[in-house]
């Protein structure tokens, strides 16, 4: 058991903090966003993440989990400080480390003895060393002898997926710990004792290797998605069905069936920025990561392709002018309200720029979508109910495969649409079923 500060209470920090408390640790989640901390203190959860509210509540009740904006107090009480702040892309594609640096320096200004500072944010190789330098720099300014207690930096990248984050954190495929000495490693074993006892694979490396594992994993998954998207595009040209192709490929144990679902391109808060950052790391190191560079541009093309698919399906050039499209699903995937880099943003902007009006629907992401699409707000109406969005629209676009969109009443859908055209960008439906109801059906790669 350890006493822990988690700096940054977003998707990763809040889930990590709550789950680490569930493992028996004492956890203080700190954020500089006061309204977020107020919401949490009042028993609210600022993000949509299934199952998170239960874990948060039971650990508040047990006294193991608390929330604060006071980093200094939290750090003084803790042995281990997790950095879980954002690392968004800078203009040149590299990961912007300003939030990580701010936390590292703030921690150093508050330490009162030996601490382990754990980088959980996704950061480029070499960041662990930078964190150590930032901390040493602040300690040297203090002149109070505290530098003598020392500190260790650890890299512990996070692999949770939004939408199943609690389950992923509680039952990870592996825990990666990059550390330089046994003292830090043994404290990390205390932090993850519950998982360690459950025989979760525990991979110990140096800091640089741990940092690389995270980027290499995310970039590989982005490549896999992009690969099947390109195969899907080819399938459309040659009369093959990508779903059968993917199913058969996935049965090969060397390939595996996960991440072989074609669609409108990957999005979210991780793959786009992590592939960009990885490509940048390669360029800086003089190693051209050509597969990752190609993946980034292919993914951009995939989103554009969806816009053309819809335009062509409705009659070709100029056909979107004056048309109203019902868009079901906005988030980059189901079970999250996260709209960062969601393909829906680019696709909706493209459709609107070609003259379409949008009637959009999403169970959780409307609030996040509406401010991101503020500049074209006049062209978009939002609905909580999918059938309200469909009423009077010309055609249906299924953008995100939330469960409630997987089993639509197709007769009702047809009666609400002006023309029965269905663009299924997630291949949820069977062509025969949809065409049997009188729709013109477009999917991806079949």
Where on the chain is the footprint of ligand NAD (CB under 6 A)? 7-13, 30-33, 36, 84-87, 99, 102-103, 121-122, 158, 160, 162, 269-270
DSSP bridge pairs for 440: 421
Task: Report the nearest approach of ligand NAD to the CB of residue 186 (Å).
Answer: 25
Q: Residue 138 or residue 311: which is nearer to ligand NAD going by CB?
A: 138
Which tokens go with 19?
């789950």
Task: Report the nearest approach of ligand NAD to the CB of residue 12 (Å).
Answer: 3
Q: Residue 107 or residue 223: which is nearer to ligand NAD going by CB?
A: 107
Interatomic CA distance for residues 224 and 255, integer angstroms: 10
Which SS3 state, helix, strand or coil, does residue 126 take?
coil
Task: Report the nearest approach of ligand NAD to the CB of residue 305 (Å).
Answer: 26
Task: Report the nearest approach of ligand NAD to the CB of residue 161 (Å).
Answer: 6
The residue of the chain with the least Cβ separation from ligand NAD equals 10
Task: Report the nearest approach of ligand NAD to the CB of residue 217 (Å).
Answer: 10
Interatomic CA distance for residues 306 and 354, integer angstroms: 13
Q: Which residues contact 359 (CB under 8 A, 6 or more apart)?
A: 324, 325, 326, 327, 380, 381, 383, 388, 389, 390, 391, 392, 393
Please identify which residue in the block is written with the tokens 């989990």: 65
Task: Report the nearest approach of ligand NAD to the CB of residue 106 (Å).
Answer: 6
Interatomic CA distance for residues 381 and 362, integer angstroms: 12
Please identify which residue in the block is written with the tokens 């409307």: 366
Which SS3 state, helix, strand or coil, does residue 171 take?
coil
Q: What letter would DSSP give residue 53?
A: H
Nearest to 330 by CA among 384, 375, 379: 384
- Is residue 270 annotated as part of the catalytic site, yes or no? yes
Q: Is 381 exposed, middle or buried (0-12, 13-18, 19+ CB in 10 A)?
A: middle
Of these residues, 19, 29, 270, 361, which one is catalytic? 270
Task: Report the nearest approach of ligand NAD to the CB of residue 405 (Å).
Answer: 22
Q: Is 331 exposed, middle or buried (0-12, 13-18, 19+ CB in 10 A)?
A: buried
Q: Residue 78 or residue 233: which is nearer to ligand NAD going by CB?
A: 78
Q: Residue 110 or residue 121: which is nearer to ligand NAD going by CB?
A: 121
Task: Report the nearest approach of ligand NAD to the CB of residue 3 (Å).
Answer: 18
Q: Residue 72 or residue 102: which is nearer to ligand NAD going by CB?
A: 102
CA angle in degrees (0–180, nearest 5) for 108-112-116: 60
Q: Is the Cα torsion angle 362, 366, 372, 376 positive or negative in sign?
A: positive
Which SS3 state, helix, strand or coil, does residue 89 take?
strand
Q: Residue 25 or residue 122: which is nearer to ligand NAD going by CB?
A: 122
Q: Residue 10 or residue 445: which is nearer to ligand NAD going by CB?
A: 10
With b meaning 16 or more CB within 10 Å and e meaning fewer, what string describes 21-42? bbbebbbbbbbbeeebbeebee
Interatomic CA distance for residues 244 and 342, integer angstroms: 27
278-281 long-range contacts (CB < 8 A, ≥24 apart) are 278/215, 278/216, 278/218, 278/219, 279/93, 280/92, 280/93, 280/94, 280/124, 281/94, 281/124, 281/125, 281/215
Interatomic CA distance for residues 152 and 104, integer angstroms: 12
Q: Residue 372 or residue 437: which is nearer to ligand NAD going by CB?
A: 372
Active site positions, annotated: 270
């Amino acid at each position: 058991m350890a006493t822990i500060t988690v700096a940054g209470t977003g998707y990763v920090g809040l889930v990590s903090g709550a789950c680490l408390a569930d493992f028996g640790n004492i956890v203080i989640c700190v954020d500089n966003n006061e309204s977020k901390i107020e919401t949490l203190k009042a028993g609210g959860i600022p993000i949509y993440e299934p199952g998170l509210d239960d874990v948060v509540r039971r650990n508040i009740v047990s006294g193991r989990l608390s929330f604060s904006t006071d980093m200094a107090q939290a750090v003084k009480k803790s042995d281990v400080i997790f950095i879980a702040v954002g690392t968004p892309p800078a203009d040149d594609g590299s990961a912007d480390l300003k939030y990580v640096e701010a936390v590292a320096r703030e921690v150093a200004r508050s330490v009162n003895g030996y601490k382990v500072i754990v980088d959980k944010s996704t950061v480029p190789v070499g960041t662990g060393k930078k964190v150590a330098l930032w901390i040493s720099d602040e300690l040297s300014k203090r002149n109070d002898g505290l530098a003598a207690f020392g500190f260790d930096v650890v890299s512990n990248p996070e692999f949770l997926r939004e939408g199943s984050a609690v389950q992923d954190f509680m039952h990870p495929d592996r825990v990666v710990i990059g550390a330089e000495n046994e003292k830090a490693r043994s404290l990390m074993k205390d932090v993850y004792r519950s998982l360690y006892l459950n025989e979760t694979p525990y991979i110990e490396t140096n800091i640089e290797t741990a940092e690389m594992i995270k980027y290499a994993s995310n970039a590989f998954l982005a490549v896999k998605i992009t690969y099947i998207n390109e195969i899907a595009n080819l399938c459309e040209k040659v009369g093959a069905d990508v779903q059968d192709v993917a199913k058969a490929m996935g049965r090969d144990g060397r390939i595996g069936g996960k991440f072989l679902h074609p669609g409108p391109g990957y999005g979210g808060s991780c793959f786009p920025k992590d592939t960009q950052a990885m490509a940048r790391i390669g360029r800086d190191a003089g190693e051209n990561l050509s597969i990752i560079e190609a993946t980034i541009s292919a993914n951009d093309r995939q989103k554009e392709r969806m816009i053309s698919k819809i335009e062509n399906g409705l009659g070709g050039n100029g056909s979107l002018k004056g048309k109203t499209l019902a868009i079901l699903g906005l988030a980059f995937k189901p079970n999250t309200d996260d709209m960062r880099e969601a393909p829906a943003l680019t696709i909706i902007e493209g459709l609107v720029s070609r003259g379409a009006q949008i009637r959009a629907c999403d169970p959780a992401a409307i609030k996040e979508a509406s401010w991101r699409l503020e500049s074209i707000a006049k062209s978009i109406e939002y609905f909580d109910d999918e059938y309200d969005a469909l009423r009077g629209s010309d055609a249906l676009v299924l953008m995100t495969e939330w469960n409630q969109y997987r089993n639509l009443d197709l007769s009702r859908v047809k009666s609400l649409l002006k023309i029965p055209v269905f663009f299924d960008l997630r291949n949820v439906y069977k062509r025969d079923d949809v065409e049997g109801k009188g729709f013109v059906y477009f999917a991806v790669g079949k």
